[in-house]
């Protein structure tokens, strides 16, 4: 006889990908389709006009960031484009333990740390359909200065290369059509939930 133990913890969904690929846009659409808790990252990056259309952040000082880091309050952290970004540990792990599915939107370095601390996470890397579309999206978003756009675009090549090499991601999803890409990710989350519920 086979025994099956129902897992009560939620799915930790981690969306990763270069700046401008569409993570926040997908995250917004996904939360309309799935019951996901969205974790607000802490960052030392100052607020920018246009931020309200993208990912929400808890903007804090460098001193505050280092204090929280020392206090072991982060699940992961990374230095991206000269600023620190981090996922607060307590709400993330609390929600998962309580059976809620949780969404993180972070960079490759952070995702590798999440994989280490929480091997059961569902790590999805979002790819642009091609490089020129990514540049177009970074430009059309109208949030960053031209030199910042170029910097993010150059960094995207490195991140995509790193993601392919790291082999840490469960799936790579191309954000060509928003509805299609979101539906693919929703299907992967539902599949992961179904697997968790029949784990031996």
Binding site for ligand 5GP (CB under 6 A): 19, 41, 45, 54-55, 76, 78, 80, 85-87, 105-107, 109-110
Among residue numbers 63 through 92, which ones bind ligand ADP (CB under 6 A)? none
Q: Which is nearer to ligand ADP, 54 or 110 (CB)?
A: 54
- What gap in Å lies between CA 126 and CA 25, rounded to an integer? 12
- Given a contact cutoff of 8 angstroms between Cβ atoms, the answer to whether 78 and 85 are in contact is yes
Q: Choosing among ligand ADP, ligand 5GP, none, which partner's interface includes residue 110 (Cβ < 5 to 8 Å by kind)?
A: ligand 5GP
Phi-psi region of 170 (alpha: psi -120 to 50; beta: other; left: phi over 0): alpha
- What gap in Å lies between CA 131 and CA 143, rounded to an integer? 19
Q: Choosing among ligand 5GP, ligand ADP, none, which partner's interface includes residue 140 (Cβ < 5 to 8 Å by kind)?
A: ligand ADP
Q: Which is nearer to ligand ADP, 114 or 134 (CB)?
A: 134
For residue 108, the minimal CB distance to ligand ADP (Å) is 13
For residue 164, the minimal CB distance to ligand 5GP (Å) is 16
Binding status of residue 25 toward ligand ADP by CB under 6 A: yes
Tokens of 45: 């990056």
For residue 16, the minimal CB distance to ligand 5GP (Å) is 7
- Given a contact cutoff of 8 angstroms between Cβ atoms, the answer to whether 175 and 134 are in contact is no
Residue with tokens 């910097």: 151
Binding status of residue 29 toward ligand ADP by CB under 6 A: no
Residue with tokens 């969205």: 38
φ, ψ of residue 176 in degrees (nearest 5): -90, -70
């Amino acid at each position: 006889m086979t025994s099956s133990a129902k897992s009560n913890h939620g799915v930790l969904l981690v969306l990763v990908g270069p700046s401008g690929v569409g993570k926040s846009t997908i995250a917004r659409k996904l939360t309309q389709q799935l019951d996901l808790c969205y974790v607000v990252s802490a960052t030392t990056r100052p607020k920018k006009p246009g931020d309200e259309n993208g990912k929400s952040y808890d903007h804090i000082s460098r001193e505050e960031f280092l204090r929280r880091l020392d206090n072991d309050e982060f699940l992961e952290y990374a230095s991206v484009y000269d600023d620190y970004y981090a996922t607060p540990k307590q709400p993330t792990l609390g929600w998962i333990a309580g059976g809620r599915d949780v969404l993180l939107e972070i960079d490759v370095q952070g995702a590798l740390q999440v994989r280490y601390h929480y091997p059961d996470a569902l790590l999805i890397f979002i790819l642009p359909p091609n490089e020129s579309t990514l540049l177009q999206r970074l430009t059309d978003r109208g949030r960053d200065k031209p030199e910042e756009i170029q910097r993010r675009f150059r960094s995207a090549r490195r991140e995509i290369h790193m993601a392919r090499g790291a082999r840490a991601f469960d799936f790579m999803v191309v954000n060509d059509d928003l509805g299609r890409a979101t539906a693919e990710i929703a299907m992967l989350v539902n599949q992961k939930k179904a697997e968790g519920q029949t784990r031996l």
